[in-house]
Each structure stands twice: as C-alpha cells, then as structure tokens.
Structure 1
C-alpha cells in the first residue's frame, strides 16, 4: 500500500456572494510511495496550492479522498486534526514561519512541546538533526540574527524532529539566494536518501530537478509526470523545462 494516496480529488470554491463556482481541482489521482521525493509543479492558478492545503489537512476537498497510511483525512474528527497534523506531517514553508521571540532551539522544539514530550526526549531528538543540518552552533540565536538559509535549516529541523511520515514543503527555496538554495536542495536529497518521504510544491525547475518524480498540474488535474530514472539532475532539469514549455503552449498530455 502506498504511503499517500489521492483519489478522485475535487475542490470547488464558491465566490463571495455564492453566484459562481470555481473548480480548483477537478479529478486528481496519484500516490506517493514511502521514501519517495516528489515535486509538484504548475503555473499560478493550476491548483497546486489548493492541493497542498488539502494534503496538509488545512482544507477539505469537495469530493474524493486522501489517505495517509490508509487513514482517510475526512474521517479524522475536527478536534483531532491538529494533533494528527503535528504527529504525522512535517512542514517547510517559503517564509520559514519561525517565531522571532523564540530562539532557533525553541522554535525547533515547539511541536514536541505541544505534544507534551519530555525535555530529555526532545534533546535526544534535537542533537543528531541539528548536527546533520549544520546549525548546532546557532541554537541560542534568534531568527533575526541568522541568514535566510540558516532560518530554513531551522525550519527543516522543526519539521524533522517530529519524525513525520511525510514532509510537505511549500516553495522552500523561494526566499533563498542561490548558494543557500543549493545547500538546502543538497540537504533535502540527503534527508530523502536516509528514508524520509518528501512532497515538494515549487515553481523552481532547479528545486524540482532534485526530486525522484515530478508531477505537473494544469487546470486542476495531473497533466503529466516525469520519473528521474537514470537521469542526472541536469537531464531532469531539461525535461522539466520542456514540459513546462508544453504546458504554457497548451499542449496535450503525453
């Protein structure tokens, strides 16, 4: 059984006064295997942000199902959604979402504090993660005292410390310079190679070219997908670029 299964997903929004309906997602179907690194791409308005919000259990579909380890998101009680999200999903955002009044260490600890974990358990989880991410010497600093790349590493540490089943990353390189972007993408590859499942939503061809599979969303549907296979990141980059050109030109599915 796949780790994540998305079946016949549809999302319809009503306009403010209920006069019109906007179909953000039409009939989305795909699955993610444990240990996969999947990127989702598409033009603005294609539905990928709506899809991510549903996968993050921040929004509910109009119809269709999302299963994580066989658990149907729609069957989770409203009172238990936040706990489910905290225990099973890790999040990395474009704007880091760190609290400026907390040190990096406290920001990383936050989901475990909310889960009621003991300090000894939190500390045992923290040390190997921050050493791997190269931020062990920055833990007492505040977000405004470190660079964008260091903030994002802290955000990745916060996502990993809960030992999530899947990491959902929303444009994680969007606020980073080229050097910090390259460093973060190398870290994502390394984390994935250690077994962590990652689902990345991005506009960046460079970011997507580090994934093992790329899904393309157009007009609320999965338009096409590319597997890395034996391709290098450079070869995958070119294939992604070609597909995005086809998307922009309104080409048919391959």
Structure 2
C-alpha cells in the first residue's frame, strides 16, 4: 500500500518581473509504500530540496499531484494545511529546530500541545519513545545543555510522537560527528523496522546506504534508483558511489 504517490510533478520558478523561468522539477514520479525507508540523493541544484518542500506541503507544484495517504495535497486549504502537516508528517532537520527556551520534553510535546492533547496522553506517548531513543534521563534538560546527537534524538522523538504517516528527514546527519551520525542511522533502521515509513534527503553516501531504496534526482527528474535487496550497507555504499560518479560525469539517464 502506497503512503506517498508523486505523479508527474513539475515546478517552475519565475523571476519577480517574469524575465526568466527556472525549471526546478520537470517530471518526477515515484511512490513510497507503507514501511519503506527511501533516500533521495542528487547534486546541489538537482531539485531535491524543491521536491522535499512540496512533499512537506511547504510549497506547491506547477503541475502534477502529490497524494499522502490517498489525499491530494493541492486540495487542502491554507486553513487546514498546518493541522494536516502536523498530524500526518514528522520532520527531522539538519539543524534540529529545537527551541532553546523549552526543555527537550516541552520541545517534543509541542506538536501535541498544538493539537490540543491532554498532558496525560502526551506523557503516555512520550515514555516508550524516550526509552527507545535513549533520552529518558535528559528530558528535563535544555537543547544548549546536551550534545548534537542528543538534540537529534529529541528531534526524532518529536517527529514520531504524533504517529505520522511519513517521516521526512532533511540531511539528518549533516550536523553530527561520525559517531553520533552512526548512532542516528542505526536508530533510523530500528524505527523503520518497527514499521515507520521514512523519506530522507541526504548528500551522505553513508546515510543513504542504510536505506532500503535510493532515488537519484538529476536535472529535475528521477535519474535512477537502487534497491537494497540482499545487499549489505557496504555494497549499497559502493553502488551509490558508482551512480553518483555517473551523475557527476554526465552519464546517461538510467531506467
């Protein structure tokens, strides 16, 4: 069953006075099934950030459709979109996006507070997640009091606490040292094996090698995709590296 369906997605940006047009996405189509872990890769300017913004309902396409849980995002009113995003999408950002004036617990609770949930329900949801993510003992601390890896675990907890249909991760290891990045990638694997659908945009070959499928975006289109199958993370790393070399050297599109 598809959680996300992207069909013929196009995005054209026009300069302020209409002097030029930039085609960020030209014809992107793919789907993400329930329980999949998909990574999206591409060079700077390939269109992957534009794609992520459209999938997050932060931007609207010039053409094509995005269906999340069968619902067309373009049909959701501006009044409803914030609540829809909060209830159906979880976000993990490179820079954590935690509020320094809130404790980790209050940062995690924020989407539930905005949804009008009672404290008892919020606490019941938090307890097992905090234990799984290894942050139960630091929930009272503030973001400036903990490490980057701990901040990102809190951000992951915040993304998961609403039980979203899809977690969107934007360069989640980008601000972490190698040890914290490895720990986070292991954690993403555990979360995915528990049934959470994850879509991650990354420049990191290592991060992408942990996914079950990797989509490569080039010139606003899906250039190629790799499936993990029986490959190890090391084998995926090598396949991803080879594909990125083809992209960088101007190789032909693969189907």
Question: Could you say which residue in structure 2 is the equivalent of 1:241?
Answer: 241
Distance 1:4 1:118 in 2: 30
| CA deviations over 1:91-117 (Å, ceiling 9, x no partner) | 000000000000000000000000000
2:86 aligned with 1:86 = yes
Q: Map 1:1-254 onto structure 2 (within 5 A).
A: 1-254=1-254
| CA deviations over 1:170-206 (Å, ceiling 9, x no partner) | 0000000000000000000000000000000000000
| CA deviations over 1:130-178 (Å, ceiling 9, x no partner) | 0000000100100000000000000000000000000000000000000
Distance 1:65 1:171 in 2: 24
**TM-score when normalising by structure 2:** 0.99
- Unaligned 5+ segments in structure 2 are none
Aligned residues: 254
SS of the residue corresponding to residue 234 of structure 2 reads helix
Shift of 1:2: 1.2
**TM-score when normalising by structure 1:** 0.99
| CA deviations over 1:56-89 (Å, ceiling 9, x no partner) | 0000000100001110000111100000000000
SS of the residue corresponding to residue 3 of structure 1 reads strand
- Unaligned 5+ segments in structure 1 are none
Distance 2:27 2:80 in 1: 27
Shift >3 Å, 4+ stretches? none
